[in-house]
């Protein structure tokens, strides 16, 4: 119990207040050291969602409600770039409270313009909307989402996700580093994690948009897109041995609408590791897909969220959990769970990350282990009836996180070293464990998520 109590303390000490109201949680809050990067002293939208799941389960609704309102207001702080129209639905990556000289407080948002590499936080608006859905499910308070500003914002988010672009796939197209992996990592195009979030958004839209004439068309469109996205991901992102065999023997350069190898994936692009690694009777959704491009890396959050939001079929969900069973030491090891597998090494690391020293092989985003992911692993395991696996994940994480003071991530193939540049008292590491614990006590908290 001690680990959970301590995690709670980390979470509670990280609550930030704006004009006396709790509005969020800091990303990291090590009392003994300032965070490595200045922006860890901010409230990140994606990080707060994990805190919020705990708060909702504890009926501390006010902080979640305040957060949803504050982020909605902050949307207006975005500045246009010369020659760009403002993308009206985009939400900030993070925000902070700034004390003014006259003693008052202001909120300042970051839309990526202060982020390292100026990456665009595409996932923020998606997490915001998914959290709004969770809030409504937890509280039964439909009034908040029915408000004019909330309805308008959801419309803007959908407009942005559904609008015509240069796209020919039902998946959403994004630049590199547009989500939890917010550095250059070859995750541009159609990364799985954003497809899962997009799917959750389309589901939430159908639940929360009021049936007024203005919404009818959008809701119809959302439903159609959701169906197209689901079919596409379930077929084309899926990888198991039979499917790998198919790709291995694919014909290429097929012209015309009847082509089997629609995306023209060359069998020669199958990496050697995947052939030996993929067990029989297990599978996963690949990390990314585009013309002539299949990224075979396994990305944990994308796969787990696909299970949780119902983007994967039940059979696929089971097969992904089988992969965790078979490849536990690769995908979990000493700390649940590895963010992606395997790491980019050598020339690949050099070219794809731009020789990023923080993302060296088996560190940080490039194959590091992220304790925050424990909640999603536990949730997916419970959803697929793998109680033992969920328990094992919790047991692996608990004592170690407590002893190591809640690191942000771990390094090494098996994740047995504290991340070289990891913050301690990383709040979503602590919140992830607390929510995992709540799920173990009562799996009905799964119902906070869109399915
Ligand atoms: C890093 C992570 C990002 C996280 C942020 C705050 O930038 O890559 O996913 O939201 O830290 O913890």
Which neighbouring-strand residues pair with 341? 298
pLDDT at 193: 98
* Atom number, ligand 1, closest to the C-alpha of residue 365: 8
By the 10 Å C-beta count (0-12 exposed, 13-18 middle, 19+ buried), 8 is classed as middle
- Quick check: 352 and 388 in contact, CB under 8 A? no
Cβ(96) – ligand 1 distance below 6 Å: no
Lowest mean pLDDT among 87-91, 114-118, 212-216, 228-232: 87-91
pLDDT at 312: 98
Residue 36 has pLDDT above 80, yes or no: no
Instruction: Give CA–CA dist 175/119, Å, rounded.
Output: 8
Residue 175 has pLDDT above 70, yes or no: yes
- Quick check: 184 and 354 in contact, CB under 8 A? yes
Cβ(42) – ligand 1 distance below 6 Å: no
For the chain, the C-alpha Rg in angstroms (whole number) is 21
Distance 428 CA to ligand 1 centre (A): 10
Residue 11 has pLDDT above 70, yes or no: yes
Cβ(57) – ligand 1 distance below 6 Å: no
Cβ(123) – ligand 1 distance below 6 Å: no
Cβ(44) – ligand 1 distance below 6 Å: yes
pLDDT at 87: 63
Residue 1: pLDDT band with limits 50, 70, 90:
low
Instruction: Give CA–CA dist 206/339, Å, rounded.
Output: 30
Cβ(413) – ligand 1 distance below 6 Å: no
- Quick check: 116 and 180 in contact, CB under 8 A? no
**234: which DSSP letter?**
I
pLDDT at 255: 86
Q: What is the pLDDT of residues 429-441, one digit of tens each?
A: 999 999 999 999 9
What's the Cα-to-Cα distance from 357 to each of 114, 187, 296, 311, 412, rounded to whole Å? 20, 17, 23, 34, 15
Residue 78: pLDDT band with limits 50, 70, 90:
confident
Instruction: Give CA–CA dist 328/44, Å, rounded.
Output: 30
Closest to 189 measured CA to CA, from 291, 87, 302: 291
Instruction: Report the pLDDT averaged over residues 386-393.
Output: 98
Mutate to test the pocket of ligand 1, among 124, 182, 197, 422 (most ligand atoms within 8 A of CB): 182
**260: which DSSP letter?**
S
Cβ(27) – ligand 1 distance below 6 Å: yes
- Quick check: 342 and 289 in contact, CB under 8 A? no
- Quick check: 419 and 368 in contact, CB under 8 A? yes
pLDDT at 37: 65
Determine the angle formed by the axes of helices 61-74 and 122-139, rounding to 10 degrees. 150
Roughly how many angstroms between the first and final C-alpha of the chain, as a whole number? 31
110 φ/ψ angles, rounded to the nearest 5 degrees: -120, 115
**21: which DSSP letter?**
E
Peptide bond into 84 cis (omega under 30): no
Instruction: Report the pLDDT averaged over residues 122-129.
Output: 96
Instruction: Give CA–CA dist 58/441, Å, rounded.
Output: 13
Residue 88 has pLDDT above 70, yes or no: no
Cβ(180) – ligand 1 distance below 6 Å: yes
Angle 181-186-191 from CA coordinates, rounded to 5°? 65
Instruction: Give CA–CA dist 387/400, Å, rounded.
Output: 21
- Quick check: 307 and 193 in contact, CB under 8 A? no
381 φ/ψ angles, rounded to the nearest 5 degrees: -65, -45
pLDDT at 135: 98
Residue 85 has pLDDT above 70, yes or no: no
pLDDT at 89: 59
Cβ(50) – ligand 1 distance below 6 Å: no
Determine the angle formed by the axes of helices 374-383 and 300-309, rounding to 10 degrees. 40
Instruction: Report the pLDDT averaged over residues 282-295.
Output: 97
* Atom number, ligand 1, closest to the C-alpha of residue 183: 8
pLDDT at 186: 97
More confident residue, 352 or 77: 352
Lowest mean pLDDT among 47-51, 65-69, 72-76, 104-108: 72-76
Which neighbouring-strand residues pair with 238? 285
Distance 182 CA to ligand 1 centre (A): 7
Residue 189: pLDDT band with limits 50, 70, 90:
very high
Residue 164: pLDDT band with limits 50, 70, 90:
confident
Instruction: Give CA–CA dist 430/184, Å, rounded.
Output: 26
Cα 436 to chain centroid, rounded: 16
Q: What is the pLDDT of residues 199-254, one digit of tens each?
A: 999 999 999 999 888 889 999 999 999 999 999 999 999 999 999 999 999 988 88
The 10 Å Cβ neighbour count of residue 313 is 14
* Atom number, ligand 1, closest to the C-alpha of residue 408: 12
Handedness of CA 61, 64, 67, 72 (dihedral sign): negative
* pTM for this entry: 0.96
- Quick check: 89 and 125 in contact, CB under 8 A? yes
For 98-139, the DSSP string reads EE-TTS-EEEEEESSSSSGGG---HHHHHHHHHHHHHHHHHH
Distance 180 CA to ligand 1 centre (A): 6
pLDDT at 132: 98
* Atom number, ligand 1, closest to the C-alpha of residue 423: 12
Helix ranges restricted to H, 234-271: 241-248
Instruction: Report the pLDDT averaged over residues 36-40.
Output: 68
**78: which DSSP letter?**
P
Distance 193 CA to ligand 1 centre (A): 15
Instruction: Report the pLDDT averaged over residues 149-154.
Output: 95
- Quick check: 285 and 426 in contact, CB under 8 A? no
């Amino acid at each position: 119990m001690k680990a959970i109590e301590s995690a709670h303390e980390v979470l509670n000490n990280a609550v930030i207040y704006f004009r006396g109201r709790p509005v969020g949680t800091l990303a990291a809050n090590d009392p003994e050291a300032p965070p490595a990067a200045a922006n860890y002293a901010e409230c990140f939208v994606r990080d707060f969602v994990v805190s919020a799941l705990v708060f909702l389960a504890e009926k501390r609704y006010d902080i979640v409600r305040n957060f949803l309102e504050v982020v909605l207001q902050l949307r207006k702080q975005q500045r246009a770039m010369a020659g760009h129209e403002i993308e009206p639905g985009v939400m900030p990556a993070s925000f902070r409270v700034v004390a003014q000289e006259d003693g008052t407080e202001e909120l300042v948002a970051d839309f990526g313009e202060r982020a390292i590499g100026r990456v665009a936080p595409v996932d923020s608006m998606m997490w915001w909307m998914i959290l709004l859905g969770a809030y409504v499910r937890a509280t039964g308070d439909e009034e908040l989402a029915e408000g004019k500003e909330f309805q308008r914002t959801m419309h803007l988010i959908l407009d942005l996700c559904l609008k015509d672009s240069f796209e020919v796939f039902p998946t959403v197209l994004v630049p590199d580093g547009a989500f939890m992996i917010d550095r250059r990592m070859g995750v541009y195009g159609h990364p799985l994690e954003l497809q899962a979030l997009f799917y959750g958004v389309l589901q939430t839209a159908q639940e929360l948009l009021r049936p007024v004439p203005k919404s009818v068309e959008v809701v119809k469109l959302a439903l159609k897109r959701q169906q197209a996205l689901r079919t596409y991901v379930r077929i084309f992102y899926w990888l198991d041995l039979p499917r790998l065999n198919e790709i291995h023997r694919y014909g290429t350069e097929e012209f015309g609408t009847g082509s089997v190898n629609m995306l023209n994936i060359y069998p020669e692009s199958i990496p050697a590791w995947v052939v030996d690694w993929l067990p029989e009777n297990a599978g996963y959704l690949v990390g990314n897909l585009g013309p002539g491009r299949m990224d075979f890396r396994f990305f944990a959050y994308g796969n787990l969220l696909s299970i949780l939001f119902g983007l994967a079929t039940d059979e696929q969900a089971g097969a992904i959990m089988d992969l965790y069973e078979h490849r536990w030491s690769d995908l979990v090891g000493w700390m649940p769970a590895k963010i992606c597998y395997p790491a980019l090494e050598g020339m690949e690391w050099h070219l794809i990350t731009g020789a990023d020293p923080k993302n060296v092989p088996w560190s940080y985003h490039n194959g590091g282990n992220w304790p925050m992911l424990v909640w999603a692993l536990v949730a997916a395991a419970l959803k697929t009836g793998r109680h033992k696996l969920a328990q094992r994940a919790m047991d692996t994480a608990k004592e170690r996180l407590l002893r190591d003071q809640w690191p942000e991530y771990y390094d090494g193939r098996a994740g047995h070293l504290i991340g070289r540049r990891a913050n301690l008292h990383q709040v979503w590491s602590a919140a992830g464990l607390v929510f995992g614990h709540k799920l173990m006590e009562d799996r009905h908290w799964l119902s906070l998520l869109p399915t």
